[in-house]
Amino acid sequence: MKIKHIITSCLLGIGVLSSLQAQERDCDIHFMAILPPQDASMSETVSEQLFNRLCSAISSADVYADEDYARFFVSARMTPLFKETIPGPPANTAVTLSVNLYIGDIAGQKIFMTQNLELRGVGRSEERACINALRGLKPGNAKVRRLVEEGKKKVIDYYNKNFDNIVAKAKQCAAMKQNAEALFYITSIPECCNRYDEASRLALSYYKLYIDNNCRDLAMKARNAWMQSPDAKGAAEVAFYLNQIDPDAECYDEAESLYKEVKGKMKDDWEFEIRQKYNDAVDIEKSKIEAARAVGVAYGNGQKEKTTNLMWLK
């Protein structure tokens, strides 16, 4: 009984240690920054400033927001509360804005949390006053900091609890040769999630499938371009296609052979060098993970228009 108790305690200890190590990793949490329609009195310039300030305010050492698609989003809606003219000369306008900040799950149409800021600004015009007021939307703001911290916890918790479902979805996509979509799901899992190592191994395997399939398509297009136009024009097309082939792809040797064939005919008139194979093992894995993530992001951005309606946001 004592031995069994010791083994159980050790296993629990390993589980806790593993979880703590996962949480201590560098963990870039990505939020998609997106705005719902703003108050009709707000100009496009003010809305653009709100978006930029929102991205800047949310971004910190391990959390960032930009236009790239992600399941989890950060948003803001501003409403004018008060406006007055301050006599001059020169006359100025003072405004008070109510800015509601949101963090949520756009796929599930859920709001995790909100924060309200009252921001004040003065300027020579109402537009300038609003822009100056938005300077209060910054990383140092205590309410913004709390929003970011709680939002990060919610995202990590979601991926830890739904890891198996996400992996199952990625595997289903890969089985149907929808490798870019598989990479979208699997590379969305942050590094500080408990089973990230498993996710990264799957990401590498799906990326290999993706680059192999991509290589075959690109090599065929390059070969056809050269057959149809074995001259400077065709060489330019060959360069365009070969430049997209990953050096670790299955058909890289075929691409290299075509490169040598074209180079031999064009000689010094063709200023192009095929991508070389990687040398450093650590750099290889890092490069592949980043490339896999880029494929996933590109896929997500392609779905953005279909999935980012915020009319439900209250």
pLDDT at 139: 85
Query: Which sign does the torsion angle of CA 44, 48, 51, 53 carry?
Result: negative
Model confidence over 253-293: pLDDT tens digits? 999 999 899 988 887 777 777 776 665 555 677 788 888 99
- pLDDT given for residue 271 in this prediction: 77
What's the confidence (pLDDT) of residue 5? 43
Check if the beta carbon of residue 213 is closer than 8 Å to that of residue 181: no
Give the whole-angstrom CA distance, residue 255 versus residue 235: 13
| 273 DSSP assignment | -
Identify residue 110 by its one-letter amino acid code. Answer: K
CATH of 29-160, one of 3.50.50.60, 3.30.70.120, 3.40.50.10610, 2.40.160.10: 3.40.50.10610
- Report the pLDDT value the prediction gives residue 28, as an integer from 0 to 100: 83
In sequence order, the β-bridge partners of residue 116 are 100
- Check whether the bond before 90 is cis (ω within 30° of 0): yes
Closest to 233 (Cα-Cα) out of 275, 266, 195, 260 = 266
CB 222 within 8 A of CB 258: yes
pLDDT < 70 regions, the chain: 1-26, 61, 276-283, 306-308, 314
- Which residues on adjacent β-strands are paired with residue 73? 32, 104
Domain spans of the chain?
A: 29-160, 163-307
